[in-house]
A and B are shown apart, each in its own frame.
Chain A
Amino acid sequence: MTRLWGASRLTYAALIAAGLMSIFPIYWMFVVASRSSDAMGQVPPPVTPGGNLGANIARLFSNTDAYFLTGLINSAIVATTVTVSVVFFSTLAGFAFAKLRFKGRNALLLVIVATMMVPTQLGVIPLYMLMTRLNWNDRLPAVIVPALVTGFGVFMMRQYASQAVSGELIEAARVDGCGTARIYWNVVLPALRPAAAVLGLLTFMTTWNDFLWPYAVLNDPENPTVQLSLRALSDGYYQDMSQVFTGTAIATLPLLLVFVLFGRQIIGGIMEGAVKA
């Protein structure tokens, strides 16, 4: 490996500045979440954590407008269900597209790529009507079921399976009398595990963060997702910012934990996908 471009001090300075700007709003969110409610009016604005976090959390969970605990539980249910489903169906379909021969394979794959280009939220109005007819309005299936599959997931697994799953291994398993289902379970799934993990992480985060569709279909304030609880807090007439920020901090915490633990894999996934796209 030839050393082409060394990084100068200036490069480091610029990157550190970019990093600090990226982190500051998140850091500041935790600062305000740990201070008393008059922190907002202080000049200069506080930039170090205070000792009020416990009291703020207590007030947040007893706030009768936000249903914050329900929101957290609902978001956990929705994000987990959707993640498991997306990973399962994406590995299944991705394997079929990468390794099995069938009529119309390429055309169907093109359809999947096309679905990634179509802004699905434009179908929000009929989707809302459909949910009314199914009697799912204000209930979790309304936000779970439409998200059970994604074109992005299928495409990503297909790209990975083409190179990670060996054709010889599949052939050998066939000769040994394995059916396709067993091949998927015993040969393909283990080989796809790294990419499936990244897909799972990305799906979990996206679902946890989703705002537009839940906002449209979950209108019952007593049954929100956590993002809708944040909206209720932020739209409230009292502007109790330390409480609102405690909410945003708690809603962001699971994502930050996932990122700290698996950041390397997530970055790898984003960069791998970029080269092939």
Chain B
Amino acid sequence: MTVGVQRQPVGAAPAAPPARPPRGVRLSRLDQRYSPYLYIAPFFLLFGVFGLYPLAYTFWVSLHDWDLLGTEHAFVGAENYTKLMADPDFWHAVVNTLGIFVISTVPQLLLALWLANLLNRQLRARTTFRMAVLVPNVTSTAAVAIVFGVLFGREFGMINWLLDLVGVDPIGWKSNRFASWVAISAMVDWRWTGYNALIFLAAMQAIPRDLYESAAIDGANRARQFWSITVPLLKPTLIFTVIISTIGGLQLFTEPRLFHSGTNPIRGGPMRESQTMTMYMFENAFAPHYNFGYGSAVAWLLFALIAIVAAINVLMLRRLSGDGGGRTGKKGKRR
């Protein structure tokens, strides 16, 4: 049995005294085998308790009639979901969320692409320009929401004052539904355009220069180079930013919440002009209703919506220029 056991089988205790390696070696073996688990354990433990468990438990709660005061949490199956499907305020919030998402994300990513293209040239004071476009991203979201709320004020807001200078009547940025979407989108875009521009810029700088040189020799002008080389090669990055923007954009909360003040700001305006889904979740789950079951159902439907929209976006981007698996898709380009 114990003849010449030199290499221990994995996980087995040392077989017999003669073949027993010295203590230090055994310790270091244990160390090499198990310490990695020790090092990654904190993340998984904490994330399990405060990240994963709440997420799964949300679904469980959403199947119950569950409020703060009740001691009985009756199982009601899909009742919260069927109620939501017939709840006009919920659908109103869904439309608001999607509306704000579309009119903020599309211009934001196009602007970021254009900015990145400008930043990718031979510039003096490169770092200064990069810092200038990134500075909105490091300011406090709450502070910015409050400041934009004032800029877009009806009576004394600077935006309406500027519009007045060019002869446009004042706009009710907080009382008109579409106008409030535009104002909130302006806030979101102001914060995220520069950030996305830097991400695009990083990807642009990874594109080999000789591609452009040979295109230039072939007589492609700058615009042609941009659409035929830069954009196709940026596709993985584009997909990445679209997914990130989808996750962030559909969960919008702080900006619309603080854009409104006064009575019941969680409703996003007197007629829920810009109440997003996360705000609606809060209104139901916390003050004033404390209906955890209903709020959790909103959370799960928001989760589903994010997954669906992200998938649609990725599919659309894939279609835009072939399947682009590392090839510069020359075909399928639409002008």
Q: List residues of chain A with CB under 8 Å of any chain B CB.
A: 2-7, 11-12, 14-15, 18-19, 21-23, 25-26, 28-29, 32, 40-41, 43-45, 89-90, 92-93, 95-97, 100-102, 105, 108, 111-112, 115, 117-130, 145-146, 148-149, 151, 154, 174, 177, 179-181, 184, 205, 208-209, 211-212, 215-216, 219, 227, 230-231, 233-236, 241, 244-245, 247-249, 251-252, 255-256, 258-259, 263-264, 266-267, 270-272, 274-275, 277
By a CB distance below 8 angstroms, the chain B residues around A90 are: 43
Question: Are B148 and A271 neighbours in the complex by a CB distance under 8 Å?
Answer: no
Question: Are B203 and A274 neighbours in the complex by a CB distance under 8 Å?
Answer: yes
Checking A7, A112, A266 against B134 with a beta-carbon cut-off of 8 angstroms, the contacting residue is: A266
Once the chains are docked, how many angstroms separate the CA of A15 from the CA of B86?
Answer: 49
A22-B190, A121-B278 are contacts. A11–B121 as well, Cβ < 8 Å?
yes
Question: Are B32 and A45 neighbours in the complex by a CB distance under 8 Å?
Answer: no
Once the chains are docked, how many angstroms separate the CA of A209 from the CA of B323?
Answer: 39
By a CB distance below 8 angstroms, the chain A residues around B140 are: 208-209, 227, 230, 248, 251-252, 255
Question: Are B132 and A22 neighbours in the complex by a CB distance under 8 Å?
Answer: yes
Question: Are B122 and A6 neighbours in the complex by a CB distance under 8 Å?
Answer: yes
Once the chains are docked, how many angstroms separate the CA of A118 from the CA of B52?
Answer: 9
| Residue from A121, A148, A177, A233 having most chain B Cβ neighbours under 10 A | A121
Question: Are A40 and B150 neighbours in the complex by a CB distance under 8 Å?
Answer: yes
Please, could you name 12 A-B residue pairs with CB atoms under 8 Å apart, sorted by A? A26-B139, A29-B143, A44-B161, A122-B55, A129-B61, A177-B24, A180-B36, A231-B258, A247-B143, A252-B139, A252-B140, A267-B130
Once the chains are docked, how many angstroms separate the CA of A25 from the CA of B140?
Answer: 12
- For B310, the closest partner residue in chain A by CB is A117
With contacts A125-B299, A216-B282, A266-B134 known, what are 4 further pairs, Cβ within 8 A?
A18-B118, A179-B35, A263-B127, A274-B240
By a CB distance below 8 angstroms, the chain A residues around B33 are: 102
Query: Does B265 touch A at the CB level, under 8 Å?
Result: yes
Q: How large is the interface on B (under 10, 10 to 19, 20 to 34, 35 or more residues)?
A: 35 or more
**Minimum distance in angstroms from B192 CB to a CB of chain A:** 11
Checking B61, B147, B257, B306 against A126 with a beta-carbon cut-off of 8 angstroms, the contacting residue is: B61
Query: Does B46 touch A at the CB level, under 8 Å?
Result: yes
By a CB distance below 8 angstroms, the chain A residues around B124 are: 7
Once the chains are docked, how many angstroms separate the CA of A264 from the CA of B147?
Answer: 27
- For A244, the closest partner residue in chain B by CB is B146
Query: Does B109 touch A at the CB level, under 8 Å?
Result: no
- For B237, the closest partner residue in chain A by CB is A274
Sorted from nearest, which 3 A-B pairs have the closest CB atoms?
A123-B54, A19-B132, A248-B143
Query: Does B58 touch A at the CB level, under 8 Å?
Result: yes
By a CB distance below 8 angstroms, the chain A residues around B151 are: 25, 28
